[in-house]
């Protein structure tokens, strides 16, 4: 297979060539060449000595081939790009598992038919592959395959479900319930509905990020059509108790239960019947699958009615018109199959790495707060560092790809609304970092990140007058900072 040929030397050569180069330059944006840029970063940790043959193999594979085309293009050699920052941002997106790409490729090159073509073998084989994938997705969440609708990702699934259910039931029910810590695409779908005249309750969360079931119970009204509560929070890893929520929601006839499970599917066990879920949103690229594909679980028995957002050919039970992207769907199916097979092993490894990271940092640096609950998903660790300025922290950590609790908007640097909802002070939200640990994260990478965090936080604190005061035993919370 093509990917095996490419991926094997790539995997073997990456660690060795990065060491061989010993350089501190990174090619950060390989394409298009005209937009390529070079950034200074610290060296990544060495991962084993290179052999000469490996280096030669890599050079042969990735040397610029533009001369062969009759012109000279200044594209950095491929091995330079191996010195990229360490990737700890898997909640943003995860690298695709090479096995997923293997499964997808034939549907780009040989079996490229439209799965909706009914008159020839190209269509039939693509349709068959789509249906196999549908079953893999369904199996991962304990659903029936016919209940799965393919979409472009969790954003689309959330929009389709929230707007679709609310609009379908608007005559009798005009109220929906969600939480303050949902992903933007849920919150913005709700805001859109408010503009259309719907009423929305945004449940608060406690300091551990969990909703109070009593708040939910008292928020449900006779006019409520939908309760939408995410499974795993993308910033804090907090896991909401879906089973208890489902049991509560189902005490009320006619109220549907939806969960945005973009960060939960494939990471923690999830069963739509156990949690009494009617609707679920799934994303491909969070589970080592391709970007641009996802799914919605829409229960057929008892039937959930929703108004489709897209008009067209009526594919996917009329809920999502448009030609299905067979290669992407095959990739999603394979990612789900692998996730089911490897969930327990992944979880064990990721838990150990998470523990290594947290204990590595907290045994060497004081005044750190873990945002969210310690019983959340271990692959998402959100820490705030007191007496450190958030922006400086990120700037100094260029060799680690991380997300921070400061959301950069065009006009201002706003602290994360999720952390604020948990009660974090503005400065603590600003100085937070989210460490995303995934299937391909290694111990060496975690150890490197621990070393970098310890050194950077200590350095920044050494420059901070506030930190100096704390060291002198002054309780700075008692200081009146107003000028008299």
Ligand X SMILES: Cc1ncc(COP(=O)(O)O)c(C=O)c1O
Residue for token pair 């391909």: 440
Q: By CB under 6 A, what part of segment 334-363 binds ligand X? A: none
Active site residue 261: no
Q: Which residues contact 20 (CB under 8 A, 6 or more apart)?
A: 50, 55, 79
For ligand X, the nearest residue by Cβ is: 153
Q: What is the DSSP string of 168-225?
A: HTTTT--EEEEETTS-HHHHHHHHHHHHTT-EEEEE---TTSPPPHHHHHHH--TTEE
CB-count exposure of residue 76 (10 Å: 0-12, 13-18, 19+): middle
What is the rounded CA–CA span in Å between residue 146 and residue 368? 47
Listed ranges 147-155, 197-205, 241-249, 436-444: which one lies at the site for ligand X (CB under 6 A)? 147-155
Q: Please, which of residues 393-422 interact with ligand X by CB under 6 A?
A: none
Residue closer to ligand X, measured from CB, 20 or 279: 279
Using only C-alpha atoms, the chain has a radius of gyration, in whole angstroms, of 25
Provide the CB-side half-sphere exposure for 205 (13 A, CA). 28
Among residues 205, 143, 115, the alpha carbon closest in space to that of 420 is found at 205
Q: Which of 133, 141, 160, 230 binds ligand X (CB under 6 A)?
A: 230
| Shortest reach from residue 279's CB to ligand X, in Å | 14
Q: Hey, what's the torsion of the CAs at 471, 473, 476, 477, to 10 degrees?
A: 130
CA distance 419 to 432: 9
Which CB, 263 or 431, lies closer to ligand X?
263
Cβ distance to ligand X smaller for residue 262 or 358: 262
Rounded distance between C-alpha atoms, residue 428 and residue 367, angstroms: 11
Residue 473 is given by DSSP the state T
Query: Chain-centre distance of CA 478, in angstroms?
Result: 40
From CA 84, how far away is CA 44, in angstroms rounded? 8
DSSP 96: P
Consecutive H or E run containing 228: strand 224-228
Nearer to ligand X, 89 or 144 (CB): 89
In this chain, which stretch among 41-49, 257-265, 300-308, 428-436 interacts with ligand X, using CB under 6 A? 257-265
Among 234, 382, 386, 416, binds ligand X (CB under 6 A): 234
Q: Select which of 185, 261, 380, 408 is catalytic.
A: 408
The answer to whether 323 and 169 are in contact (CB under 8 A) is no
Q: Which stretch binds ligand X (CB under 6 A): 194-202, 255-263, 350-358, 449-457?
A: 255-263
The tokens for 38 are 């070079």
Closest separation in Å from C-beta 229 to ligand X = 11
Binding flag, residue 26, ligand X (CB under 6 A): no
What x/- string results for residues 148 through 187 when contact with ligand X is judged by CB under 6 A?
A: -----xxx---------------------------x-x--
262-321: contacts with ligand X (CB under 6 A): 262-263, 283, 294
CB of 316 to ligand X, least distance (A): 17
> In terms of Cα–Cα distance, which of 100, 95, 84, 90 is closest to 14?
84
The nearer residue to ligand X, 83 or 293, going by C-beta atoms, is: 293
- Which is it for strands 175-179 and 224-228: parallel, antiparallel or unpaired? parallel
Least distance to ligand X, CB of residue 172, Å: 29
**How many residues bind ligand X, per CB under 6 A?**
13
Residue window 100-139: x/- pattern of binding to ligand X, with contact defined by CB under 6 A? ----------------------------------------
Identify which range of 190-198, 209-217, 258-266, 403-411 contacts ligand X by CB under 6 A: 258-266
Closest by CA position to 454, among listed 357, 361, 354, 389: 361
C-alpha closest to that of 153 among 329, 275, 278:
329
97: tokens are 């598992």
- Taken in order 396, 402, 403, 408, the sign of the CA dihedral is positive
**CB of 286 vs ligand X, minimal distance in Å:** 7
Q: How far is the CB of 266 from ligand X (least distance, A)?
A: 13
Q: Which stretch binds ligand X (CB under 6 A): 12-20, 116-124, 256-264, 410-418?
A: 256-264
For ligand X, the binding residues in 60-99 under the rule CB under 6 A are: 91
| Nearer Cβ to ligand X (26/382) | 382
Minimal distance, residue 230 CB to ligand X, in Å: 6
Name the minimum Å distance from CB 293 to ligand X: 8
**Between 178 and 263, whose beta carbon lies closer to ligand X?**
263
* 8-state DSSP, 237: -
For ligand X, give the closer residue by CB, 92 or 247: 92
Helix (H, G, I), strand (E, B) or coil at 385: strand
Which sequence positions are flagged as catalytic? 408
Positions touching ligand X (CB under 6 A) are 91, 153-155, 183, 185, 230, 234, 260, 262-263, 283, 294
């Amino acid at each position: 297979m093509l990917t095996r040929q490419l991926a094997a030397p790539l995997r073997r050569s990456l660690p060795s060539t990065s060491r061989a180069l010993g350089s501190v330059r990174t090619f950060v944006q390989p394409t298009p060449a005209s937009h390529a840029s070079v950034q200074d970063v610290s060296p990544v940790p060495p991962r084993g000595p290179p052999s000469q043959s490996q280096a030669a193999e890599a050079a042969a594979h990735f040397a610029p081939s533009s001369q062969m085309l009759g012109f000279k293009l200044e594209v950095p050699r491929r091995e330079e790009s191996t010195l990229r920052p360490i990737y700890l941002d898997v909640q943003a997106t995860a690298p695709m598992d090479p096995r997923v790409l293997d499964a997808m490729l034939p549907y780009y090159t040989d079996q490229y038919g439209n799965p909706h073509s009914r008159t020839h073998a190209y269509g039939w084989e693509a349709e068959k592959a789509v249906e196999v994938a549908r079953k893999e997705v369904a199996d991962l969440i304990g659903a029936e395959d016919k209940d799965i609708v393919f979409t472009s990702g969790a954003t689309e699934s959330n929009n389709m479900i929230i707007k679709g259910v609310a609009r379908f039931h608007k005559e009798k029910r005009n109220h929906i319930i969600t939480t303050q810590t949902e992903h933007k695409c849920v919150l913005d779908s709700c805001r859109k509905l408010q503009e259309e005249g719907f009423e929305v309750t945004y449940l608060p969360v406690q300091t551990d990020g969990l909703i109070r079931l009593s708040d939910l119970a008292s928020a449900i009204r006779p006019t409520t059509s939908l309760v939408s509560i995410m499974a795993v929070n993308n910033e804090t890893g907090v896991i909401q108790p879906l089973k208890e929520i489902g049991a509560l929601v189902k005490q009320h006839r006619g109220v549907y239960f939806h969960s945005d499970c973009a960060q939960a599917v494939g990471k923690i066990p999830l069963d739509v019947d156990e949690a009494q879920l009617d609707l679920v949103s799934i994303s491909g690229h969070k589970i080592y699958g391709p970007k641009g594909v996802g799914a919605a679980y829409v229960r057929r028995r008892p039937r959930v009615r929703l108004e489709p957002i897209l008009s067209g050919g009526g594919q996917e039970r009329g809920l999502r018109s448009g030609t299905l992207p067979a290669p992407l769907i095959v990739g999603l199916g394979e990612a789900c199959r692998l996730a089911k097979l490897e969930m327990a092993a992944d979880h064990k490894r990721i838990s150990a790495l998470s523990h290594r990271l947290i204990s590595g940092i907290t045994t060497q640096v004081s005044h750190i707060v873990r945002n969210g609950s310690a019983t959340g998903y271990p692959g998402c660790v959100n820490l705030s560092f007191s007496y450190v300025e958030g922006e400086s922290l990120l700037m100094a950590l260029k060799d680690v790809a991380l997300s921070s609790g400061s959301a950069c908007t065009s006009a201002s640097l706003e602290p994360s609304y999720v952390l604020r909802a948990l009660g974090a002070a503005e400065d603590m939200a600003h100085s937070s970092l989210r460490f995303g640990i995934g299937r391909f994260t290694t111990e060496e990478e975690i150890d490197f990140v621990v070393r970098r965090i310890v050194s950077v936080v200590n350095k920044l604190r050494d420059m901070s007058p506030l930190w100096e005061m704390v060291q002198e035993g002054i309780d700075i919370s008692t200081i009146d900072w107003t000028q008299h």
